[in-house]
């Protein structure tokens, strides 16, 4: 079974959406639309009567609702949405609490979609060794709870198709990369979306142009970036 991302062009690239139960990384540099893509995914579920959880390490609830509204997603109308804002530093001090409370929260809300925005903020606070454990633990919780999840992450400074710490892409079942592509320093950048991996699925790897508009993200799956 596939879960629609709420973005028509992206669903088309994926052949219908994200496979149920997958944990998918959405990576990109600042302002490329990672949070927006995640919000589309959550909103699509809410619209269909599903429940969703947004675990935010970046923006607070008010800012998430405001930004969603600016692209026409009225998240505030839904009771089956829970937005949790966590301070990464607090989580670091007691990661065991997340491990014990998050599955319970997902069960209580009967959530089947989850957005963690951004996981790289959390990763920043841990050493290489701990980072792998934290990410595997987060993925295990998602799998155990049966939710389909998007983890957003900053991209590597020099390699737009890699996550900041280079571990997330191995842990996740799929990875979507959002890139700002510049022909030259003087040109306006073109935004390109690339499905880098999606286990068990045949998909194009070609970067497809997308735009962020007042209706949110629009992916032009039949066009070429240049």
Tokens of residue 11, six digits: 């669903």
Q: What angle do CA 117, 40, 208 make, to 5 degrees?
A: 95
Nearest CA-CA partner of 193 in 52, 33, 41, 81: 33
Q: Tokens 């950048």 identify what position?
A: 189
Q: 68 or 145: whose CB is closer to ligand ATP? A: 68
Output the smallest distance, CB 49 to Mg ion, in A. 26
Write the DSSP symbol of residue 215.
Answer: T
Question: Strand, helix or coil at 115?
Answer: strand
Q: Segment 30-69, which members bind ligand ATP (CB under 6 A)? A: 30-36, 58
Instruction: Show the binding pattern over residues 5-44: x = contacts Mg ion (CB under 5 A), - = does not.
Output: -----------------------------xx---------
Question: Interface mask (CB under 6 A) for ligand ATP, residues 10-29, using x and -?
Answer: ------------------x-
Burial class (CB in 10 A: 0-12, 13-18, 19+), 225: middle
Per-residue contact string for residues 153-192; x = within reach of ligand ATP by CB under 6 A? ----------------------------------------
Q: Does 70 help bind ligand ATP (rule: CB under 6 A)?
A: yes
């Amino acid at each position: 079974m596939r879960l629609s991302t709420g973005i028509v062009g992206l669903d088309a690239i994926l052949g219908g959406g994200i496979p149920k139960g997958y944990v998918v990384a959405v990576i990109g540099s600042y302002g490329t639309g990672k949070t927006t893509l995640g919000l589309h995914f959550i909103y699509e579920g809410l619209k269909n009567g599903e429940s969703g959880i947004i675990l935010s390490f970046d923006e607070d609830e008010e800012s998430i609702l405001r930004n969603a509204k600016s692209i026409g997603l009225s998240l505030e109308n839904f009771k089956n949405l829970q937005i949790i804002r966590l301070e990464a530093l607090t989580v670091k001090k007691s990661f065991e609490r997340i491990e014990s409370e998050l599955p319970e929260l997902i069960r209580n809300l009967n959530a089947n979609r989850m957005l963690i925005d951004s996981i790289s903020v959390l990763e920043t606070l841990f050493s290489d060794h701990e980072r792998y454990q934290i990410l595997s633990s987060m993925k295990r919780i998602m799998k155990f709870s049966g939710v389909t999840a998007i983890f957003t992450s900053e991209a590597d400074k020099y390699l737009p198709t890699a996550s900041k710490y280079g571990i997330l892409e191995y842990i996740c079942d799929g990875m979507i990369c959002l890139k700002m592509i510049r022909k030259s320093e003087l040109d306006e950048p073109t935004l390109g979306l690339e499905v880098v991996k999606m286990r068990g699925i045949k998909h194009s790897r070609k970067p497809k142009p997308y735009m962020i508009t007042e209706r949110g993200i629009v992916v032009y799956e039949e066009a070429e970036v240049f």
